[in-house]
């Protein structure tokens, strides 16, 4: 049987490792904003080149080509407001009352990591977000 001190040390080490892997709520909101917000919208000659450039620039093409991703062309404060007062919320999921300009990128069949190719299209729609204490943490749905 292992000494009592060794078991306690192992338990503390496992607890510390688990806490280190967990992304804090503020970090999840920052990650959401970094991955989904492009305001003002980056310039590109067409939606396909926009998607190819932004997906690579935001590191969304490794270790695999992300199948679908949506960029929101609005200030971060407007998205935070959806979670605070400018959305209709049920638990932590909030639907925006107003539409946002969006660009959705979809990976083309045969795309390979690091050289992913996307098609893209733009629209203006409402969104549903999952909200954390510091703001949006996930884009759940385009309404």
106: domain CATH number is 3.10.130.10
Q: How many domains does the chain have?
A: 1
pLDDT tens, position by position, 24-53: 556 888 999 999 999 999 999 999 999 999
| Domain ranges, residue 138 | 23-142
Domain for residue 12, yes or no? Answer: no
- Residue 16 is predicted with a pLDDT of 43
Which one-letter DSSP state was computed for residue 132?
E
Residue 85 has pLDDT above 80, yes or no: yes
- Residue 12 is predicted with a pLDDT of 41
pTM: 0.80
Domain for residue 40, yes or no? Answer: yes
pLDDT tens, position by position, 107-120: 999 998 878 999 99
Domain for residue 3, yes or no? Answer: no
Domain for residue 110, yes or no? Answer: yes
- Greater pLDDT, 32 or 13: 32
Supply the mean pLDDT for the chain.
86
The percentage of residues in the chain with a pLDDT greater than 70, rounded to a whole number, is 82
């Amino acid at each position: 049987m292992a000494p009592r001190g060794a078991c306690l040390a192992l338990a503390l080490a496992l607890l510390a490792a688990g806490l280190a892997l967990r992304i804090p709520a503020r970090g999840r909101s920052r990650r959401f904003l970094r991955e989904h917000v492009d305001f003002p919208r980056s310039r590109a000659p067409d939606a396909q080149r926009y998607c190819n450039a932004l997906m690579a620039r935001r590191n969304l093409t490794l270790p695999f080509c992300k199948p679908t991703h949506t960029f929101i062309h609005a200030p971060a404060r407007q998205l935070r407001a959806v979670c605070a007062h400018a959305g209709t919320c049920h638990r932590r999921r909030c639907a925006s009352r107003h539409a946002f300009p969006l660009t959705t990128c979809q990976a083309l069949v045969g795309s390979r990591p690091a050289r992913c190719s996307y098609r893209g299209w733009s629209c203006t729609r409402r969104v549903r977000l999952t909200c954390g204490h510091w703001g949006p943490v996930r884009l759940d749905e385009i309404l």
